[in-house]
Structure 1
Amino acid sequence: MLTNKICIVTGGAQGIGRCIVETFAQQQATMVYACDMNTQVAEELTAQYPNVRVKQLNVCDRQAIQSFIQEIHQEHGKIDVLVNNAGITRDNLLDRISEEDWDMVLDVNLKGVFNMTQAIAPIMIENGIGSIVTMSSVVGTDGNIGQSNYAATKGGVIAMTKGWAKEFSRKGAQVRANCVAPGFIETPMTIDLPEKVLDHMKSKTPLGRMGKPQDIANGVAFLASDNASFITGQTLKIDGGLVI
Protein backbone atom coordinates (compact mmCIF):
# COMPACT_ATOMS: atom_id res chain seq x y z
CA MET A 1 0.00 0.00 0.00
CA LEU A 2 1.00 3.61 -0.56
CA THR A 3 -0.99 5.16 2.27
CA ASN A 4 0.14 8.71 3.17
CA LYS A 5 2.43 8.91 0.12
CA ILE A 6 2.75 11.94 -2.18
CA CYS A 7 3.57 10.55 -5.62
CA ILE A 8 4.57 11.98 -9.00
CA VAL A 9 4.30 9.95 -12.21
CA THR A 10 5.63 11.39 -15.47
CA GLY A 11 4.02 10.21 -18.67
CA GLY A 12 1.02 9.47 -16.49
CA ALA A 13 -1.84 10.22 -18.89
CA GLN A 14 -2.00 7.00 -20.88
CA GLY A 15 -0.58 3.52 -21.36
CA ILE A 16 1.67 2.15 -18.63
CA GLY A 17 1.91 5.52 -16.89
CA ARG A 18 -1.84 5.85 -16.56
CA CYS A 19 -2.06 2.34 -15.13
CA ILE A 20 0.61 3.25 -12.58
CA VAL A 21 -1.35 6.36 -11.57
CA GLU A 22 -4.55 4.33 -11.15
CA THR A 23 -2.75 1.65 -9.16
CA PHE A 24 -1.19 4.23 -6.83
CA ALA A 25 -4.60 5.85 -6.33
CA GLN A 26 -6.19 2.49 -5.57
CA GLN A 27 -3.42 1.78 -3.07
CA GLN A 28 -4.55 4.84 -1.11
CA ALA A 29 -1.76 7.27 -1.89
CA THR A 30 -2.59 10.66 -0.39
CA MET A 31 -2.09 12.32 -3.78
CA VAL A 32 -0.85 11.15 -7.17
CA TYR A 33 0.23 13.74 -9.72
CA ALA A 34 -0.18 12.45 -13.28
CA CYS A 35 2.21 14.57 -15.33
CA ASP A 36 2.09 14.53 -19.11
CA MET A 37 2.24 16.73 -22.18
CA ASN A 38 -1.21 15.52 -23.23
CA THR A 39 -3.48 15.98 -20.23
CA GLN A 40 -6.82 15.88 -22.05
CA VAL A 41 -6.80 12.08 -22.21
CA ALA A 42 -6.43 11.91 -18.42
CA GLU A 43 -9.07 14.40 -17.28
CA GLU A 44 -11.49 11.63 -16.26
CA LEU A 45 -8.89 10.35 -13.81
CA THR A 46 -9.61 13.26 -11.49
CA ALA A 47 -13.32 12.50 -11.60
CA GLN A 48 -12.77 8.84 -10.83
CA TYR A 49 -10.07 9.29 -8.20
CA PRO A 50 -10.21 12.21 -5.75
CA ASN A 51 -6.56 11.60 -4.89
CA VAL A 52 -5.31 12.19 -8.48
CA ARG A 53 -4.35 15.50 -10.02
CA VAL A 54 -3.39 15.93 -13.66
CA LYS A 55 -0.57 18.33 -14.50
CA GLN A 56 0.67 19.36 -17.93
CA LEU A 57 4.45 19.11 -17.73
CA ASN A 58 7.33 18.80 -20.17
CA VAL A 59 10.21 16.89 -18.56
CA CYS A 60 12.61 18.86 -20.76
CA ASP A 61 11.47 22.21 -19.30
CA ARG A 62 13.61 22.67 -16.23
CA GLN A 63 11.98 25.96 -15.19
CA ALA A 64 8.48 24.45 -15.35
CA ILE A 65 9.67 21.47 -13.33
CA GLN A 66 11.13 23.68 -10.61
CA SER A 67 7.92 25.70 -10.32
CA PHE A 68 5.80 22.55 -10.16
CA ILE A 69 7.97 20.87 -7.53
CA GLN A 70 8.02 24.02 -5.40
CA GLU A 71 4.21 24.10 -5.44
CA ILE A 72 3.96 20.49 -4.28
CA HIS A 73 6.62 20.94 -1.63
CA GLN A 74 4.87 24.01 -0.24
CA GLU A 75 1.51 22.24 -0.16
CA HIS A 76 2.57 18.87 1.24
CA GLY A 77 6.01 19.43 2.76
CA LYS A 78 7.33 16.28 1.13
CA ILE A 79 7.46 14.10 -1.98
CA ASP A 80 7.61 10.38 -1.27
CA VAL A 81 7.63 8.74 -4.70
CA LEU A 82 8.86 9.74 -8.15
CA VAL A 83 8.17 7.50 -11.14
CA ASN A 84 10.17 8.51 -14.21
CA ASN A 85 7.95 7.00 -16.88
CA ALA A 86 7.82 9.63 -19.64
CA GLY A 87 9.52 8.39 -22.79
CA ILE A 88 9.44 8.38 -26.58
CA THR A 89 10.83 6.30 -29.45
CA ARG A 90 12.23 7.34 -32.81
CA ASP A 91 13.39 3.99 -34.15
CA ASN A 92 15.66 3.49 -37.15
CA LEU A 93 18.78 1.62 -38.20
CA LEU A 94 22.02 3.30 -37.17
CA ASP A 95 22.87 4.66 -40.61
CA ARG A 96 19.40 6.20 -40.91
CA ILE A 97 18.92 7.86 -37.52
CA SER A 98 18.80 11.62 -37.90
CA GLU A 99 20.61 13.84 -35.43
CA GLU A 100 17.23 15.37 -34.58
CA ASP A 101 15.76 11.98 -33.64
CA TRP A 102 18.86 11.07 -31.66
CA ASP A 103 18.74 14.32 -29.69
CA MET A 104 14.98 14.16 -29.09
CA VAL A 105 15.05 10.66 -27.60
CA LEU A 106 18.02 11.47 -25.37
CA ASP A 107 16.45 14.75 -24.23
CA VAL A 108 13.18 13.13 -23.13
CA ASN A 109 14.26 9.66 -22.01
CA LEU A 110 17.59 10.45 -20.38
CA LYS A 111 17.83 14.17 -19.63
CA GLY A 112 14.15 14.25 -18.66
CA VAL A 113 14.85 11.63 -15.99
CA PHE A 114 17.84 13.65 -14.82
CA ASN A 115 15.77 16.86 -14.70
CA MET A 116 12.98 15.36 -12.60
CA THR A 117 15.28 13.49 -10.25
CA GLN A 118 17.58 16.47 -9.71
CA ALA A 119 14.57 18.57 -8.71
CA ILE A 120 13.01 16.02 -6.35
CA ALA A 121 15.86 14.01 -4.80
CA PRO A 122 17.05 16.86 -2.51
CA ILE A 123 13.56 17.06 -0.97
CA MET A 124 13.59 13.32 -0.31
CA ILE A 125 17.10 13.45 1.14
CA GLU A 126 16.12 16.34 3.42
CA ASN A 127 13.12 14.36 4.66
CA GLY A 128 15.27 11.25 5.04
CA ILE A 129 13.12 8.95 2.93
CA GLY A 130 11.82 8.43 -0.61
CA SER A 131 11.60 6.09 -3.56
CA ILE A 132 12.53 6.81 -7.18
CA VAL A 133 11.47 4.28 -9.80
CA THR A 134 12.65 4.82 -13.38
CA MET A 135 11.32 3.03 -16.42
CA SER A 136 14.08 1.28 -18.33
CA SER A 137 13.55 -1.57 -20.80
CA VAL A 138 14.97 -4.93 -21.78
CA VAL A 139 16.28 -2.96 -24.76
CA GLY A 140 18.42 -1.06 -22.26
CA THR A 141 19.84 -4.25 -20.76
CA ASP A 142 20.18 -6.38 -23.89
CA GLY A 143 19.90 -4.08 -26.94
CA ASN A 144 17.72 -4.27 -30.03
CA ILE A 145 18.10 -3.71 -33.75
CA GLY A 146 17.07 -0.24 -34.88
CA GLN A 147 16.94 1.28 -31.42
CA SER A 148 20.40 2.70 -30.80
CA ASN A 149 19.03 5.95 -29.38
CA TYR A 150 16.36 4.29 -27.23
CA ALA A 151 18.79 1.63 -25.97
CA ALA A 152 21.31 4.30 -25.04
CA THR A 153 18.75 6.10 -22.90
CA LYS A 154 17.37 3.00 -21.24
CA GLY A 155 20.84 1.70 -20.47
CA GLY A 156 21.79 5.18 -19.27
CA VAL A 157 18.99 5.39 -16.71
CA ILE A 158 20.11 2.07 -15.23
CA ALA A 159 23.64 3.43 -14.79
CA MET A 160 22.34 6.68 -13.26
CA THR A 161 20.06 4.73 -10.94
CA LYS A 162 22.94 2.63 -9.59
CA GLY A 163 24.91 5.79 -8.91
CA TRP A 164 21.93 7.46 -7.24
CA ALA A 165 21.34 4.46 -4.99
CA LYS A 166 24.81 5.01 -3.57
CA GLU A 167 24.77 8.82 -3.64
CA PHE A 168 21.38 9.52 -2.08
CA SER A 169 21.91 7.21 0.91
CA ARG A 170 25.51 8.08 1.70
CA LYS A 171 24.56 10.29 4.67
CA GLY A 172 21.98 7.91 6.07
CA ALA A 173 18.84 8.93 4.19
CA GLN A 174 16.56 6.04 3.24
CA VAL A 175 16.18 7.28 -0.33
CA ARG A 176 16.02 4.38 -2.76
CA ALA A 177 16.46 4.33 -6.55
CA ASN A 178 15.44 1.41 -8.75
CA CYS A 179 14.49 0.62 -12.34
CA VAL A 180 11.82 -1.48 -13.98
CA ALA A 181 12.64 -3.06 -17.36
CA PRO A 182 9.49 -4.14 -19.25
CA GLY A 183 9.48 -6.61 -22.11
CA PHE A 184 6.75 -6.71 -24.76
CA ILE A 185 3.72 -4.95 -23.27
CA GLU A 186 0.24 -4.29 -24.65
CA THR A 187 0.05 -0.50 -24.97
CA PRO A 188 -1.42 2.01 -27.44
CA MET A 189 1.98 1.88 -29.17
CA THR A 190 1.78 -1.88 -29.82
CA ILE A 191 -1.94 -2.54 -30.20
CA ASP A 192 -1.99 -1.59 -33.89
CA LEU A 193 0.99 -3.73 -34.87
CA PRO A 194 0.32 -6.45 -37.47
CA GLU A 195 -0.83 -9.78 -36.02
CA LYS A 196 2.27 -11.45 -37.47
CA VAL A 197 4.51 -9.10 -35.49
CA LEU A 198 2.52 -9.63 -32.30
CA ASP A 199 2.67 -13.41 -32.72
CA HIS A 200 6.44 -13.19 -33.16
CA MET A 201 6.75 -11.18 -29.94
CA LYS A 202 4.67 -13.73 -28.05
CA SER A 203 6.69 -16.63 -29.45
CA LYS A 204 9.92 -15.11 -28.12
CA THR A 205 8.44 -14.80 -24.62
CA PRO A 206 8.56 -18.01 -22.55
CA LEU A 207 5.22 -17.25 -20.88
CA GLY A 208 3.68 -17.08 -24.34
CA ARG A 209 1.94 -13.73 -24.12
CA MET A 210 2.54 -10.02 -24.07
CA GLY A 211 2.52 -8.30 -20.73
CA LYS A 212 -0.25 -5.98 -19.61
CA PRO A 213 0.25 -2.47 -18.21
CA GLN A 214 -0.98 -3.78 -14.86
CA ASP A 215 1.94 -6.22 -14.76
CA ILE A 216 4.30 -3.26 -14.89
CA ALA A 217 2.27 -1.11 -12.52
CA ASN A 218 2.30 -3.87 -9.90
CA GLY A 219 6.11 -4.00 -10.02
CA VAL A 220 6.43 -0.22 -9.83
CA ALA A 221 4.00 -0.05 -6.91
CA PHE A 222 6.01 -2.67 -5.05
CA LEU A 223 9.31 -0.82 -5.51
CA ALA A 224 7.64 2.45 -4.53
CA SER A 225 6.17 1.01 -1.35
CA ASP A 226 7.68 0.36 2.07
CA ASN A 227 7.53 -3.36 1.25
CA ALA A 228 10.67 -2.75 -0.83
CA SER A 229 12.45 -0.75 1.88
CA PHE A 230 15.66 -2.82 1.57
CA ILE A 231 15.81 -2.78 -2.24
CA THR A 232 17.87 -0.12 -4.02
CA GLY A 233 20.07 0.12 -7.10
CA GLN A 234 18.26 -2.75 -8.79
CA THR A 235 16.62 -3.33 -12.17
CA LEU A 236 13.47 -5.45 -12.04
CA LYS A 237 12.79 -7.14 -15.38
CA ILE A 238 9.10 -7.70 -15.99
CA ASP A 239 9.23 -9.46 -19.34
CA GLY A 240 7.65 -12.90 -19.10
CA GLY A 241 11.10 -14.46 -19.28
CA LEU A 242 12.04 -12.76 -22.56
CA VAL A 243 15.55 -12.03 -21.33
CA ILE A 244 17.00 -14.69 -19.05
Structure 2
Amino acid sequence: MKKHFFLCLLFTLISCKDSKVIEKIDSTTKNRETYNYIVLDNDTLYHGNAYTYNSKDKVIEKCVFNKGLVNGVLYRYYDNGKLKEYQYLKNGFNFGKAVSYFENGKIETSLNYRQDTLIGDAYDNYPNGNLKKYLLYDSLGRIPIVIHFNKNKRIKIKEGRAINCFLNTDKIKFGSKLNLDCLIPNIPNTQRNIKFIYSNGKEGKRRVVKKDNNYLSVEESNYVLGENVLYVIAEYKFNKEYHNQIIKDTAFIDFYVN
Protein backbone atom coordinates (compact mmCIF):
# COMPACT_ATOMS: atom_id res chain seq x y z
CA MET A 1 0.00 0.00 0.00
CA LYS A 2 1.31 3.45 -0.82
CA LYS A 3 1.89 5.44 2.32
CA HIS A 4 0.77 8.91 1.32
CA PHE A 5 -2.28 11.06 1.36
CA PHE A 6 -2.68 13.15 -1.81
CA LEU A 7 -0.16 13.10 -4.65
CA CYS A 8 -0.16 16.61 -6.04
CA LEU A 9 1.38 16.79 -9.53
CA LEU A 10 0.97 19.74 -11.86
CA PHE A 11 -2.37 21.38 -11.40
CA THR A 12 -4.12 24.25 -13.17
CA LEU A 13 -6.05 26.49 -10.82
CA ILE A 14 -9.59 26.90 -12.09
CA SER A 15 -11.45 28.77 -9.37
CA CYS A 16 -10.72 30.02 -5.91
CA LYS A 17 -10.93 33.69 -5.14
CA ASP A 18 -14.22 34.34 -3.41
CA SER A 19 -15.44 30.76 -3.29
CA LYS A 20 -15.08 28.32 -0.40
CA VAL A 21 -14.04 25.62 -2.85
CA ILE A 22 -10.78 25.22 -4.78
CA GLU A 23 -10.85 23.13 -7.94
CA LYS A 24 -7.72 21.78 -9.65
CA ILE A 25 -7.06 19.79 -12.81
CA ASP A 26 -4.14 17.39 -13.28
CA SER A 27 -2.72 18.36 -16.68
CA THR A 28 -1.50 14.79 -17.31
CA THR A 29 -4.35 12.53 -16.14
CA LYS A 30 -7.12 15.15 -16.44
CA ASN A 31 -8.28 14.13 -12.96
CA ARG A 32 -10.23 16.86 -11.21
CA GLU A 33 -9.83 17.66 -7.51
CA THR A 34 -12.07 19.78 -5.31
CA TYR A 35 -11.22 21.04 -1.83
CA ASN A 36 -13.19 22.99 0.73
CA TYR A 37 -11.01 25.55 2.44
CA ILE A 38 -10.82 28.24 5.10
CA VAL A 39 -8.58 31.28 5.49
CA LEU A 40 -6.86 31.34 8.87
CA ASP A 41 -4.25 33.97 9.80
CA ASN A 42 -3.93 34.85 6.11
CA ASP A 43 -3.23 31.20 5.21
CA THR A 44 -5.51 29.19 2.94
CA LEU A 45 -6.05 25.78 4.53
CA TYR A 46 -7.95 22.79 3.19
CA HIS A 47 -10.82 22.23 5.60
CA GLY A 48 -13.75 19.90 5.03
CA ASN A 49 -14.49 17.50 2.22
CA ALA A 50 -12.02 16.82 -0.60
CA TYR A 51 -12.68 14.74 -3.71
CA THR A 52 -10.73 13.53 -6.74
CA TYR A 53 -12.65 12.63 -9.91
CA ASN A 54 -11.35 10.71 -12.91
CA SER A 55 -11.83 11.78 -16.54
CA LYS A 56 -15.28 10.15 -16.49
CA ASP A 57 -16.23 12.27 -13.45
CA LYS A 58 -16.31 9.30 -11.05
CA VAL A 59 -14.93 9.72 -7.52
CA ILE A 60 -11.58 7.90 -7.18
CA GLU A 61 -10.43 9.48 -3.90
CA LYS A 62 -12.11 11.24 -1.00
CA CYS A 63 -11.25 12.38 2.51
CA VAL A 64 -11.85 15.15 5.05
CA PHE A 65 -9.32 17.83 6.00
CA ASN A 66 -9.13 19.62 9.33
CA LYS A 67 -7.18 22.88 9.08
CA GLY A 68 -4.87 21.56 6.39
CA LEU A 69 -4.44 18.01 7.67
CA VAL A 70 -6.27 14.86 6.62
CA ASN A 71 -8.39 13.67 9.53
CA GLY A 72 -10.55 10.54 9.39
CA VAL A 73 -10.75 7.91 6.66
CA LEU A 74 -9.11 8.36 3.27
CA TYR A 75 -10.77 6.28 0.54
CA ARG A 76 -9.43 5.40 -2.92
CA TYR A 77 -11.45 3.70 -5.66
CA TYR A 78 -10.80 1.93 -8.93
CA ASP A 79 -12.14 3.64 -12.05
CA ASN A 80 -15.05 1.18 -12.03
CA GLY A 81 -16.10 2.42 -8.58
CA LYS A 82 -14.88 -0.55 -6.54
CA LEU A 83 -13.01 0.20 -3.32
CA LYS A 84 -9.22 0.13 -3.86
CA GLU A 85 -8.00 1.04 -0.38
CA TYR A 86 -8.82 2.90 2.79
CA GLN A 87 -6.69 4.18 5.64
CA TYR A 88 -7.36 6.02 8.87
CA LEU A 89 -5.50 9.24 9.57
CA LYS A 90 -5.35 11.50 12.60
CA ASN A 91 -4.14 15.06 12.08
CA GLY A 92 -2.22 14.03 8.98
CA PHE A 93 -0.63 10.90 10.46
CA ASN A 94 -1.47 7.30 9.63
CA PHE A 95 -3.27 6.11 12.75
CA GLY A 96 -5.23 2.86 12.71
CA LYS A 97 -6.20 0.43 9.98
CA ALA A 98 -5.03 0.61 6.36
CA VAL A 99 -6.42 -1.96 3.92
CA SER A 100 -6.03 -2.34 0.15
CA TYR A 101 -8.06 -4.53 -2.21
CA PHE A 102 -7.55 -6.29 -5.49
CA GLU A 103 -10.00 -5.29 -8.20
CA ASN A 104 -11.83 -8.60 -7.62
CA GLY A 105 -12.69 -7.43 -4.08
CA LYS A 106 -10.23 -9.69 -2.22
CA ILE A 107 -8.00 -8.07 0.41
CA GLU A 108 -4.48 -7.40 -0.91
CA THR A 109 -2.78 -5.93 2.19
CA SER A 110 -3.79 -5.17 5.76
CA LEU A 111 -1.69 -2.87 7.97
CA ASN A 112 -2.00 -1.07 11.30
CA TYR A 113 -0.41 2.25 12.21
CA ARG A 114 0.17 4.21 15.37
CA GLN A 115 1.38 7.78 14.87
CA ASP A 116 2.69 6.97 11.37
CA THR A 117 4.57 3.87 12.60
CA LEU A 118 3.57 0.37 11.52
CA ILE A 119 2.52 -1.75 14.49
CA GLY A 120 0.87 -5.10 15.15
CA ASP A 121 -0.31 -7.72 12.68
CA ALA A 122 0.10 -7.20 8.94
CA TYR A 123 -0.39 -9.44 5.96
CA ASP A 124 -0.30 -9.64 2.16
CA ASN A 125 -2.54 -11.94 0.14
CA TYR A 126 -2.52 -13.54 -3.27
CA PRO A 127 -5.23 -12.28 -5.69
CA ASN A 128 -7.43 -15.29 -4.77
CA GLY A 129 -7.38 -14.20 -1.10
CA ASN A 130 -4.95 -16.86 0.16
CA LEU A 131 -2.30 -15.73 2.61
CA LYS A 132 0.99 -14.75 0.94
CA LYS A 133 2.94 -13.16 3.81
CA TYR A 134 2.36 -12.50 7.50
CA LEU A 135 4.37 -9.93 9.48
CA LEU A 136 4.34 -8.66 13.04
CA TYR A 137 5.52 -5.14 13.90
CA ASP A 138 6.49 -4.28 17.47
CA SER A 139 5.83 -0.90 19.12
CA LEU A 140 8.93 0.60 17.44
CA GLY A 141 8.08 -0.65 13.97
CA ARG A 142 10.60 -3.50 14.03
CA ILE A 143 9.69 -6.93 12.62
CA PRO A 144 10.34 -9.87 15.01
CA ILE A 145 8.71 -12.44 12.70
CA VAL A 146 7.75 -12.78 9.04
CA ILE A 147 6.27 -15.87 7.36
CA HIS A 148 6.07 -16.37 3.59
CA PHE A 149 3.61 -18.81 2.01
CA ASN A 150 3.57 -20.34 -1.45
CA LYS A 151 0.46 -20.48 -3.63
CA ASN A 152 -0.34 -23.94 -2.24
CA LYS A 153 -0.72 -22.48 1.29
CA ARG A 154 2.48 -24.06 2.59
CA ILE A 155 5.11 -22.20 4.58
CA LYS A 156 7.96 -21.24 2.26
CA ILE A 157 10.17 -19.14 4.56
CA LYS A 158 9.91 -18.27 8.26
CA GLU A 159 12.18 -15.62 9.74
CA GLY A 160 12.23 -14.74 13.43
CA ARG A 161 10.34 -16.21 16.40
CA ALA A 162 6.66 -16.51 17.22
CA ILE A 163 7.26 -15.51 20.87
CA ASN A 164 9.43 -12.77 22.36
CA CYS A 165 9.43 -11.91 26.08
CA PHE A 166 10.99 -9.08 28.06
CA LEU A 167 11.84 -8.44 31.73
CA ASN A 168 12.30 -5.02 33.27
CA THR A 169 15.13 -6.43 35.41
CA ASP A 170 17.08 -9.70 35.61
CA LYS A 171 17.35 -9.50 39.44
CA ILE A 172 14.28 -10.21 41.58
CA LYS A 173 13.89 -9.93 45.34
CA PHE A 174 12.38 -13.09 46.81
CA GLY A 175 8.68 -12.64 47.58
CA SER A 176 8.12 -9.96 44.95
CA LYS A 177 6.26 -10.45 41.70
CA LEU A 178 8.09 -11.10 38.47
CA ASN A 179 6.54 -8.99 35.70
CA LEU A 180 7.05 -10.20 32.17
CA ASP A 181 5.78 -8.83 28.84
CA CYS A 182 5.43 -11.15 25.85
CA LEU A 183 5.00 -10.07 22.24
CA ILE A 184 2.82 -12.56 20.35
CA PRO A 185 1.62 -12.71 16.73
CA ASN A 186 -1.96 -13.37 15.71
CA ILE A 187 -1.24 -15.61 12.73
CA PRO A 188 -4.32 -16.11 10.51
CA ASN A 189 -5.77 -19.60 10.08
CA THR A 190 -4.17 -20.91 13.31
CA GLN A 191 -4.96 -21.88 16.89
CA ARG A 192 -2.43 -20.69 19.46
CA ASN A 193 -1.27 -22.36 22.66
CA ILE A 194 1.25 -20.82 25.08
CA LYS A 195 2.94 -22.60 28.00
CA PHE A 196 5.18 -21.27 30.77
CA ILE A 197 7.58 -23.90 32.18
CA TYR A 198 10.59 -23.58 34.50
CA SER A 199 13.80 -25.51 33.86
CA ASN A 200 12.89 -27.76 36.83
CA GLY A 201 9.70 -28.79 35.01
CA LYS A 202 7.26 -26.82 37.17
CA GLU A 203 4.46 -25.03 35.41
CA GLY A 204 3.12 -23.30 38.52
CA LYS A 205 0.48 -20.60 38.82
CA ARG A 206 0.67 -17.23 37.18
CA ARG A 207 -1.55 -14.35 36.19
CA VAL A 208 -1.69 -13.65 32.47
CA VAL A 209 -3.40 -10.51 31.18
CA LYS A 210 -3.78 -9.47 27.55
CA LYS A 211 -2.47 -5.89 27.39
CA ASP A 212 -3.45 -5.32 23.78
CA ASN A 213 -3.82 -7.24 20.55
CA ASN A 214 -0.19 -8.46 20.50
CA TYR A 215 1.07 -8.23 24.10
CA LEU A 216 0.59 -10.43 27.15
CA SER A 217 1.48 -9.23 30.64
CA VAL A 218 2.56 -12.08 32.93
CA GLU A 219 2.76 -11.87 36.74
CA GLU A 220 4.86 -14.74 38.08
CA SER A 221 5.87 -15.87 41.59
CA ASN A 222 6.66 -19.58 41.19
CA TYR A 223 10.43 -19.11 41.17
CA VAL A 224 13.23 -20.35 43.45
CA LEU A 225 16.15 -18.62 45.15
CA GLY A 226 19.16 -18.21 42.89
CA GLU A 227 19.25 -18.78 39.14
CA ASN A 228 15.97 -19.33 37.30
CA VAL A 229 15.22 -20.17 33.69
CA LEU A 230 11.66 -19.77 32.44
CA TYR A 231 10.68 -21.24 29.07
CA VAL A 232 7.78 -19.60 27.27
CA ILE A 233 6.62 -21.96 24.53
CA ALA A 234 4.30 -20.78 21.75
CA GLU A 235 2.70 -23.27 19.38
CA TYR A 236 0.59 -22.31 16.38
CA LYS A 237 -1.35 -25.01 14.56
CA PHE A 238 -2.78 -24.16 11.14
CA ASN A 239 -6.20 -25.38 10.06
CA LYS A 240 -6.79 -28.17 7.56
CA GLU A 241 -6.92 -25.75 4.62
CA TYR A 242 -3.32 -24.81 5.45
CA HIS A 243 -2.27 -28.47 5.81
CA ASN A 244 -2.25 -28.58 9.65
CA GLN A 245 1.26 -27.12 9.66
CA ILE A 246 2.78 -26.28 13.05
CA ILE A 247 5.00 -23.42 14.15
CA LYS A 248 6.63 -23.86 17.55
CA ASP A 249 9.07 -21.42 19.17
CA THR A 250 10.48 -20.94 22.66
CA ALA A 251 11.64 -17.82 24.50
CA PHE A 252 14.21 -18.33 27.30
CA ILE A 253 14.05 -15.97 30.28
CA ASP A 254 17.03 -15.96 32.69
CA PHE A 255 16.78 -14.12 36.01
CA TYR A 256 18.25 -14.24 39.51
CA VAL A 257 16.27 -14.22 42.77
CA ASN A 258 17.96 -13.14 46.01
TM-score grouping bracket, smaller chain normalisation = under 0.3
TM-score normalised per structure 1? 0.25
Structure with a larger share of its residues in strand: 2
TM-score normalised per structure 2? 0.24
Question: Which one scores higher on RCO, CA 8 angstroms, separation ≥ 6?
Answer: 1
